[in-house]
Amino acid sequence: MTAPMLRRLGVPADVSGRRLLASRDGLVVSVLFYLIVSGVLSALWRAAAGEHGEVAGYTALALTWYVFTAEAATCAINVRLIEEVGDEIGSGAVAVEMLRPLPVVAVRLAAEVGRCTARLAVLLGPGATYAWLVAGPPPHAAAAVLALPSLVLAVTANLCLQHALAGSAFWLRDTRAMWFLYQKLVFLLGGMLLPLEVLPGVLRDVAMALPFMAMSYAPARLASGHLEPWLLLVQAGWVVVLAALAGAVFAAGQRRLQVVGG
């Protein structure tokens, strides 16, 4: 992808992000949902850790910041994206987007990254305030700062894989089962519900080797006080791989697109 193309893609990202920020009602619901889910889940983890105890090396404070960050990475995403994009492919609506001089998947990803980054920005303020009030400040300031770019990489990796899977609609026509499975994988193997260190040996190793860890676990691990910059490199690597996969799936799928009639 060339620099001029990236500049052109910046506009869909910017316009979509601004548009999202203008839809106040939707944002209020998103923030409320995020705070309720994160609040309940973090309370459970704090109870499990006890006041001075730990769970898999995470203190109650670390677990609180872990949960709020992991939830932010997931709540920023449209969870039914696979289904929606799949429907547009299955119905042939995607044909209109093929009549533009930039790759369909690149424009879609740019717009979605813009939208999700804007939603993320909105979620983080109330989320950080809540976590600070109930548990205390972030355990490690520098690691918390690194969690910010890590969150953007997390939603980008998530969007890339969702588009790659949605592209299967060029062959399968129906992706509803796929998004259901995908969502659960992100919840469990992505570390959204629990830190991956909680998983037993082999399962933990498998989860750490899969791309889902880049979508929730990585920023949450940083925000929970672990200064591990290599996580950003792993995420960036996954973004490159998953973006290439999404591009390849769409390129192959478009060739076999069957659109009959208007």
Partner 1 sequence: MGTPDRLGGGPAIEAVGVTKRFRAAGSTGSTSAVDAVHDLTLSVQHGERLAFIGPNGAGKSTSIKMLTGILHPTAGTARVLGLVPWQQRRTLSERTGTLFGQRSQLWFELSPRQSLRMLAAIYGMDRPQETRRVAELGELLDAADLFDVPVRSLSLGQRMRCELAACLLHEPAILFLDEPTIGLDLLAKRRFRELLVTLNEEGGTTVFLTSHDVADIEHVAQRVVVISAGRLIYDDSVPAMRRTMLSTKLVDVGLEHAGASLELDGVSVLEQGDSSARLSVDTTRISIREVLGVVLDVWSVSDISVVDPPLEQVIAEIYAERRS
Q: How far apart are CA 159 and CA 94, in angstroms?
A: 17
Q: How many residues bind partner 1 (CB under 8 A)?
A: 30
Stretch that binds partner 1, among 8-16, 48-56, 166-174, 232-240 (CB under 8 A): 8-16
**Tokens 């009602």, residue located:** 25
CB of 19 to partner 1, least distance (A): 6
Residue 10 is a binding residue for partner 1 (CB under 8 A): yes
Q: Which residue has 């192959």 as its token pair?
A: 252
Compare residues 27 and 37 and give the one whose CB is closer to partner 1: 27
One residue of 3, 4, 133, 230 binding partner 1 per CB under 8 A = 4
Residue from 6, 19, 57, 136 touching partner 1 (CB under 8 A): that is 19
The radius of gyration of the chain from alpha carbons, rounded to an integer in Å, stands at 19
Q: Does 259 bind partner 1 (CB under 8 A)?
A: yes
Please tell me whether residue 255 binds partner 1 under the rule CB under 8 A.
yes
- Provide, rounded to whole angstroms, the least separation between the CB of residue 242 and partner 1: 22
Place of tokens 């044909």: 95
Residue selected from 12, 17, 39, 219 as contacting partner 1 according to rule CB under 8 A: 12
Instruction: For the segment 22-51, give every residue that binds partner 1 (CB under 8 A).
Output: 23
Type of residue at 159: L
Contact present, 127 and 71 (Cβ < 8 Å): yes
Q: Cβ-count burial of 52 within 10 angstroms (0-12 exposed, 13-18 middle, 19+ buried)?
A: exposed
Report the DSSP beta bridge partners of residue 59. Answer: 54
Told to check if 11 binds partner 1 by CB under 8 A, we report: yes
Distance CA 68, CA 16 (A): 25
Give least dist CB 16 to partner 1, A: 8
DSSP of 91-146: HTGGGGGGGSSS-HHHHHHHHHHHHHHHHHHHHHHHHHHHHHHHH-S-S-HHHHHH
Q: Which is nearer to partner 1, 11 or 248 (CB)?
A: 11
Which window, 76-84, 89-97, 173-181, 202-210, contacts partner 1 (CB under 8 A)? 89-97
CB 123 within 8 A of CB 35: no
Structure token digits, residue 233:
């490199």
Q: Closest separation between CB of residue 193 and partner 1, Å?
A: 30
Amino acid identity, residue 234? V
According to the binding rule CB under 8 A, does residue 200 interact with partner 1?
Answer: no
108-147: contacts with partner 1 (CB under 8 A)? 111
Within 95-114, the residues that bind partner 1 by CB under 8 A are 95-103, 107, 111
Binding footprint of partner 1 on the chain (CB under 8 A): 4, 8-12, 15-16, 19, 23, 92-93, 95-103, 107, 111, 255, 257-262
